Each structure stands twice: as structure tokens, then as C-alpha cells.
Structure 1
Amino acid sequence: MAGKPKLHYPKGRGRMESIRWLLAAAGVEFEEEFIETKEDLEKLLNDGSLLFQQVPMVEIDGMKLVQTRAILGYVAAKYNLYGKDLKERAWIDIYVEGTTELMGMMMFLAFQAADTKEKNIALMIERATTRYFPAYEKALKDHGHDYLVGNKLSWADIHLLEAILMVEEYKPDILSTFPLLQAFKGRTSNIPTIKKFLQPGSQRKPPSDEKFVAIVTKIFNT
């Protein structure tokens, strides 16, 4: 029997968090080996584990997978969260790309100077309100089902919920004008595997803080 997937990354969200979300939603238990020092990173580099000298890296099914998108695609396909055919997969990809763009606007906010950070938070909220959330609201309305693609939970739904909760950390009432997204958030948050991941004590990571920024900066010399 194959062992649990092992995730290699610093102890924070970053590019690994969506992978944690996807595994957790699929009901897959996973282990984490945190990169806490520059020496930890150098060990992975020296033993050839990082194809492009970058993390995240996930050990799964005898492979050492790198590149976030490739890891997510493999996990989604392996656990039947990637649609039933090519058309569904294309729509899942479209929706995931949108939420990836939105989350990308938030990923590095903790690393920015205060004035730049405030401007980019305002821009992120504006984009969420006028570009991204209207598109998902319309998608749910036009599709007429509980989920974005087909009538089954997919990677697209998991990624969207993650993005919604991230934006709400900056603007709690962001969904006030999006009733279908409000209902979507309620439904998906109560899926048993996701509900478990949202509970205190899970492997979900908190928003990046100064301590995490200091650790990451020291590890990667950024």
C-alpha cells in the first residue's frame, strides 16, 4: 500500500496551500516535511529532488512532483475531481485559472511595504468585485447546479471556495451582492472533508504574517 503523500514547503500558505486544500477535499491524508532553514532547502537541491530548483514539491505515487499546476492537475485527476470528459476539464481549467489569478494578487501581500500593500489590497478587492466574482456568480446562474461544472464537486469548486475565504480575510462582506456565491460558500464549506479542513487544528495554514515572511526571506534570500 502506498504511503501518504509528503509535502515539502515552508510552514505557511504560499503555493502549497491550494495543494493542501485539494488533497484535504479529496479526503486524502498527507504528511508535511517543512522547509525551516536554508540547509533544509539545500538538502532537497543537492539530492536532486527539485527539477527546477523550486518548491513546492510533493512525493506521491513514487514520484517527486514539482510545479504547482502540474501537482494540482495530477491530484485532481487521481481523485476524480477533474471532470468526466475534455469539455468539463476545459471549463475546470478556465475557472481554476481565474481563481489562481485572484489568489495570486493576495499571495505576496505580506511581503510588501505598507503603502504598496494597501494599494494592492484595494486593487484586489476591486478586481474580485468587478471581474472575478461576477463571472462565477453568472456561471452558477447559467449552469443551474450546485457546482460550477457538471453537477459534481470538482477542483474548480474547491479552488473557488479557497479564493472566497482568502478575500473575506480582507473584506468580510465581499459576497454581499453575490447571493449565489453566498449559497455556494455555505454548501461547499459543509462538505464533510472540507468542513474538517476548515476546523481549528487542521493542516490548513493561517494568513502569512511577519514571522513567516522572515523565515521565507531567510531560506530563499529574497
Structure 2
Amino acid sequence: MPGYVITYFPVRGRAEAARLLLADQGAEWKEEVVSIQKWMAGEVDLKKTAVFGQLPQFKDGDFVLYQSNTILRYLGQKYGLYGSNDKEKALIDMVNDGVEDLRQNYIRLIFQNFETGKQKYLEELPKQLCPFEGLLSKHAHGSGFITGSKISYADYNLLDLLQNHQNLAPDCLKSFPLLSAYVERMTSRPKLKVYLESEARKSRPFTPKK
């Protein structure tokens, strides 16, 4: 088995999409948990050696990566989740970049202005979700994956982000039938379902705050 190790804080956060991908592909990995308090206080040696001073860190044997989206693309290539030609890869990357844009908005809300900005954020959220609903509608009448009939690494990132928003506002997908059905399909995939129902997953909060 590959010697995968995810080093991250005791939350889902930026590492969760990679966990979803690995679980769904039947891969095993080890978790190395870093205290948020010690990291912020500069008491963790890894902070000095991390390429950009950030986590997650991902190890595949002796090979080490940082940056969550780079980790996803790497795993996407390893498991055949990155399209079959340059155009398919570009579309997957495009969707993943769109997920990242929305994730950045979500992160700013959670960590910078949650108390004063939540209502406005939720009012504007439908406009942010519409492109993903539209992308789903282009493939198999909305019953496929986000870029077509085959799952890609971007699907795991999108699923994680949608679940973050469902935690924030349980009815946020009510007016998006294709996205709602998409979440149900993804979370019903047998191997992924086992992980989602595991104590390891349930014990990790979405973020330090929520």
C-alpha cells in the first residue's frame, strides 16, 4: 500500500477533499495531527520547513507536497481522475478554480465576519451556486458528475464545499435540485459512504469555529 500521510489540524478544512478522494478510491492513509494552538504560537518545527508555511502537508512515501489543490491534482493523476486529454483536464481545472473562488468567500466569512456577514453571504450564495447547477445540467440531464460522465478530482472538492455550506445553512441547496441530487449520489458511493460514517470523519469539525 502507498505510504500516504496527511499532516493537518484536527479539522476537516483544506485536507478534507483529499480524504474524500482517497477514501472513495479505496486508499489508506495515516493522519498526523498538529495542534492549532501550538502551530499559531510557532511551537511546531514543521512550520519552519513547510514550503509556504502552511498545511496540509501530504506525503506519498518520500515525496512531499503542500497546497491542497496541488495535492488533489496529484492524486487525480494517480487515480485516473484528471480527464483523458488536455481539454478534459482544462475543464476539470476550470471547475476546481471555481470551487476555490467560492471556498475563499466561505473562508473569509467564517474567519473574518461571521457574525455580521452571514445573512448577506447567504443572500448572495444562490448566485455563486448557479454556475455549478448549470454545469451539471450539461451532462446526462444532470445525473452525471461536474464535468461529465466520469468522476474527477474536482468532484471531491465540490462535494466538500457543498457539505460545508449545508452545515452553514441546511436548506442552501433547496432551490438547486441537480446539486442536491449530486450530493446524494456522491455521498452514496459505497466506499465514500463508509468514510463519511466513520468516527474519524465525524470527530473532525468543519473548521475550528463551525
Shorter-chain TM-score tier: 0.7 to 0.9
**Structure 1 match to 2:14:** 15
CA, structure 1 residues 54+175, in 2 after alignment: closer, same or farther (shift >3 Å)? closer
Q: For the Cα contact (< 8 Å) 1:102–1:124, is it kept in 2? A: no
- CA gap 1:118/1:184 in 2 versus in 1, 3 angstroms: same
Give the structure 2 partner of residue 84 of structure 1: 84
User: 1:24-173 residue pairs with structure 2 within 5 A?
Assistant: 24-36=23-35, 37-38=38-39, 42-45=44-47, 48=49, 50-107=50-107, 109-112=109-112, 116-131=113-128, 133-144=129-140, 145-173=143-171
| Aligned residues of 2:18 and 2:156 also touching (Cα < 8 A) | no
Q: Which runs of 5+ in 2 are unaligned?
A: none
- CA distance in 2 between counterparts of 1:127 and 1:92 reads 25
Letter in 1 for 2:24: A
1:203 match: secondary structure:
helix
Distance 2:124 2:26 in 1: 32
**Conserved 8 A contact 2:76-2:153:** yes
Give the alignment's TM-score, normalised by structure 2: 0.85
Q: Counterparts of 1:60 and 1:192 in 2: how far apart (Å)?
A: 25
Q: What is the aligned-residue RMSD (CA, Å)? A: 2.4
Structure 1 residue ranges without an equivalent (≥5): 213-222
Please tell me the residue identity of whatever aligns with 1:15.
R
Q: Hey, what's the Cα distance between the residues in 1 that align with 2:6 and 2:132? A: 30
Q: Which runs of 4+ in 1 moved over 6 A?
A: none
Deviations 1:36-71 (A, max 9, x none): 23499632256x4x2233322111142111122221
Q: Secondary structure of the residue that 2:44 maps to in structure 1?
A: helix
- Whether 2:175 is the aligned partner of 1:183: answer no
Q: Please list the CA deviations of residues 154-175 of structure 1 after superposition, one character each: whole Å capped at 9, or x if unmatched.
A: 1122222212111111211111
Aligned to 1:215: none
2:197 corresponds in structure 1 to 199
Change beyond 3 A, Cα 1:26–1:94 = same
**Deviation digits for residues 75-125 of structure 1 (CA, Å, limit 9, x no counterpart):** 11111111111111111111111112222222354434xxx2134323432
Aligned length: 204
**Residue identity opposite 1:117 in structure 2:** F
Residues 136, 10 of structure 1: CA spacing in aligned structure 2 closer, same or farther, 3 A cutoff? same
* Cα distance change of structure 1 residues 14 and 184 upon mapping to structure 2, 3 Å threshold: closer
Q: Distance in 1 between matches of 2:2 and 2:12?
A: 26
CA spacing shift, 1:63–1:40, aligned 2, 3 Å:
farther
**Aligned sequence identity (%):** 31
SS at match of 1:130: helix
